[in-house]
Amino acid sequence: MRETRLWSLHILVIPIIAVLLGAHFALMHYAPVFYGVSVEEARNFETMIERGKSVAQLVLYILLLAAGLYHGLYGMRGILRELPLTPALAKLVDWGILLFGLFIFALGTYVTWWTFSFKAGG
Amino acid sequence: MSDKTTTPREITFRLRRFNPETDSVPHWDSYALNVPDGMTVLEALHQLKAEQEPTLAWRSSCRMGVCGSCGMFINDLPMLACQTQVLHLGTDVVSVAPLPNYENVKDLVPNLEPLIEKHAAIKPFIIHTNSKEIDEPTGEFLQTAEERESISQFTHCIKCGLCLAACPTVATDPLFLGPQALAQAYRYTADNRDCGLHDRLEAIDIFHGPYQCHLAGACSQACPKGVDPAFAIQLLKRTLVLDSIGFGKKKSSLAKVMPLADVVKAIEEFAPPKRTV
């Protein structure tokens, strides 16, 4: 793939991260300000499970996960690829980062989906 | 009438010496020289070689900042020795070393092969779809003064390699194409007679291409010809991004061929009046 597309996407996700991270902060860290509940209350298991059942939350966290992972791992790849690597090692870094990213995304998506579809006692 | 010449000042030259046949690592030697006003570092080296150190090696040619051969690391900055006056440096000790970020061949001679290879990789020539016109020209590709002006500064590159010596990214990533090649990639891509961006993609749209630039701007500061390669790299990024989303150069904006008869007519129009005496 053209490096331009990879780089453009890495820039493009910055505003997406800013908005979604803002929403995450509002939900989790500024709950007393936005929702009138204490931080402890906003973070306890029952509240999180309850909140996790909303489609909006499901979409928000999967998007934030994808955007954050892409931006962070593209930067990590940049740092690693600046090392004096052989072409084979450079390819290994590219594939390693891609597979690691996909694994973390799958794991994060699974947890988010698990929360979304959680049934008490089930 | 006042005499503007100043008395020569004794300057100590610390030269980095390296002979691959006898030395395993480079070392520094010092030489004292009386330097008159106006003497360049290159002239000082010539005098030192003639009077004190006949084995001293460096590369130079034109002595007027045109050929780009005499790039050196003078007082820890990449400069052309022929354009740098010793007394203007303002120090009693002047250190001269080969350009960093290049292999050292001998004494002050850097191996500029990587520079040339990177330059050649970006296909530094006009690529036009009208190959028939290129092979059998019937006229000239028309370029307006404005079109020329938009790329003018980037055409001044003399391939001296000072920008690569100054670049902190090249220092850590030798595969980085570097400011010289990337600025030239922009120079040709932006030329209205060129439509070779896609022929250059394989060389420039890569990890070690324009996106590796850390925006230090040291290349633009080092350039002895006033080229701003850091700016060219940003313009190249814009060109590549626009092209990747389908807003690249349109064929209709390509230079048209101006028939030879019209070229001659235009030249005659702008030619000075013929002398009558």
Percent of chain B with pLDDT over 90: 77
Contact between A3 and B206 using a beta-carbon 8 Å cutoff = yes
Separation of alpha carbons B43 and B250, rounded Å:
51
Position with higher pLDDT, B132 vs B105:
B105
Please give the pLDDT value at position B2: 46
Instruction: Tell me the pLDDT band of B277, cut-offs 50, 70 and 90.
Output: low
What CATH number is associated with residue B217? 1.10.1060.10
Query: Which helix (H) or strand (E) is A106 found in, with range?
Result: helix A87-116
Please give the pLDDT value at position B265: 84
Residue B135 sits in the same domain as residue B205: yes
Among residues B79, B111, B143, the one where a domain terminates is B111
Contact between residue A80 and residue A100 where contact means Cβ atoms under 8 Å apart: no
Residue B217 sits in the same domain as residue B156: yes
Q: Which amino acid is at B242?
A: L
Maximum C-alpha span of chain A: 56
Please give the pLDDT value at position A122: 54
Pick among B167, B211, B243, B245 to test the A interface (most A CBs inside 10 A)? B211
Predicted confidence (pLDDT) per residue in B41-84, tens digit: 999 999 999 999 999 999 999 999 999 999 999 999 999 999 99
Separation of alpha carbons B236 and B246, rounded Å:
15
Phi, psi of B33 (to 5 degrees): -150, 140
A78 interaction partners in chain B (CB closer than 8 Å): 212
Residue B175 lies in a domain: yes
Residue B104 sits in the same domain as residue B132: no
Residue labelled with tokens 């594939």:
A95
Non-local (6+) Cβ contacts of B187 within 8 A are B124, B151, B154, B155, B157, B232
Residue B129 sits in the same domain as residue B254: yes
A84 interaction partners in chain B (CB closer than 8 Å): 173-174
User: Cα Rg for chain A, rounded, in angstroms?
Assistant: 18
B244 interaction partners in chain A (CB closer than 8 Å): 2, 4-5, 8
DSSP state of B211: G
Please give the pLDDT value at position A121: 62
* C-beta atoms surrounding B20 within 10 Å: 10
Question: How high does pLDDT run on average in chain B?
Answer: 92
Where along chain A do its domains lie?
A: 3-116
Tell me the CATH number for domain A3-116: 1.20.1300
Residue B195 sits in the same domain as residue B234: yes
Please give the pLDDT value at position B262: 84
Classify the C-alpha dihedral B261-B265-B267-B272 as positive or negative.
positive
Q: How far is B215 from chain A (nearest CA, A)?
A: 15
Instruction: Please tell me which residue of chain B has the smallest CA distance to A80.
Output: B173
Among residues B111, B131, B162, the one where a domain terminates is B111
Q: How far is CA A66 from CA A40, A59, A69, A97, A115, in A?
A: 27, 11, 5, 14, 18
What are the counts of helices (DSSP H) followed by strands (DSSP E) for chain B? 11, 9
Residue B122 sits in the same domain as residue B247: yes
Residue labelled with tokens 């690693």:
A80
Contact between B240 and A81 using a beta-carbon 8 Å cutoff = no
Q: How far is A49 from chain B (nearest CA, A)?
A: 41
Predicted confidence (pLDDT) per residue in B6-45, tens digit: 688 999 999 999 999 999 999 999 999 999 999 999 999 9
Query: Got the DSSP string for A82-97?
Result: TS---HHHHHHHHHHH
The minimal CB distance from B211 to the residues A3, A84, A90 is found for: A3
**What is the number of structural domains in chain B?**
2
What CATH number is associated with residue B75? 3.10.20.30
pLDDT along chain A (122 residues), means of 10: 92 96 87 81 84 90 96 96 92 97 97 87 58
Strand B77-80 relative to strand B93-97, pairing = unpaired
User: Does the pLDDT value for residue B1 go beyond 80?
Assistant: no
Contact between residue B27 and residue B95 where contact means Cβ atoms under 8 Å apart: no
Separation of alpha carbons B158 and B82, rounded Å:
14
Pick among A3, A10, A86, A95 to test the B interface (most B CBs inside 10 A)? A3
Predicted confidence (pLDDT) per residue in B77-116, tens digit: 999 999 999 999 999 999 999 999 999 999 999 999 999 9
**Domain with B157 in it:** 113-259
Residue B3 lies in a domain: no
